[in-house]
Amino acid sequence: MSSADSHTYVLRYFDIIGIAETARLMLILSGANWTEENPEWPAARDQQPLCRLPVFIEKNAAGEVVLELTESRVIERYIARKFGFISTDNVTAARQEQLRDQFVDLLYSPIHAIKSEGDAKEYYFKKLSTLAKCVIEFHTKALQANGNNGHYFGDKTSYVDLALCAFLSFVRTLAEDKGMGFADVFDPVEVPEFAKVDNAVRAEPALLQHFAGERKRASLV
Ligand SMILES: N[C@@H](CCC(=O)N[C@@H](CS)C(=O)NCC(=O)O)C(=O)O
């Protein structure tokens, strides 16, 4: 991944595993000159472009802001394209984006379930387990088609690998903190193909410190 650029980057988010984790992993792995800001909340809310986080800022060599982005997956895609984590071929990139976005509803279902009561709670937990089965089947096929080598595409860590690792970290820490079993369906024994990718990402030399550090927990901010 090339980091030979004179620009600097800021990822502004909460100090948690959440919807900016994939962007965070890509920035670390890219070797780019970037920093993370964790603003006081809600004090800093009104200073954000859309009153929410994440916010991504790019500055040129003169320190001028050339880009300010909101929306976590737009931020991810920008970083992925800029640093080569996503294919330059449109068809392959669409497949990568599809696989990545299939984690979105899966990530939000337990959040909605935890925050709901009665029928709504049941609806979201059912949605999670039904969707999990389909996603696991779809992803297992994609991983097997790539030789079950611990990567979704080729033989290098790229966008979807990092998104899977971020997703698993999120649902696992959330389930653990809530004392619930909704993440068990993704356990290594259930989906060894996922475990292979997760382990490959965690073994990336540039990411070792991130994973060894104080564990950021998932949160419902
Ligand atoms: N669609 C937005 C959602 C942003 C969002 O909901 N951010 C939450 C944190 S995950 C937030 O800023 N919460 C604090 C608040 O709303 O005050 C994205 O994907 O970036």
Question: Domain-by-domain residue ranges, the chain?
Answer: 8-82, 90-204
- Residue ranges, the chain, pLDDT below 50: 1-3
Nearest to 132 by CA among 95, 181, 87: 181
CATH topology of domain 8-82: Glutaredoxin (3.40.30)
For the chain, what is the total number of helices (H) and then of strands (E)?
A: 7, 4
pLDDT of residue 217: 80
Gap from CA of 53 to ligand 1 centroid (Å): 5
Nearest to 26 by CA among 48, 50, 4, 2: 2
Q: Rounded to whole angstroms, how far apart are CA atoms 40 and 175?
A: 26
48: left (phi over 0), alpha (psi -120 to 50) or beta: beta
Gap from CA of 120 to ligand 1 centroid (Å): 22
**Closest ligand 1 atom, CA of 54?**
20
Atom 1 of ligand 1, nearest CA residue: 71
Gap from CA of 219 to ligand 1 centroid (Å): 11
**Closest ligand 1 atom, CA of 73?**
19
The pLDDT tens digits for 114-125 are 999 999 999 999
Amino acid in the structure at residue 34: W
CATH no. of 90-204: 1.20.1050.10
Q: What is the pTM of this model?
A: 0.96
79, 88 Cβ separation under 8 angstroms: no
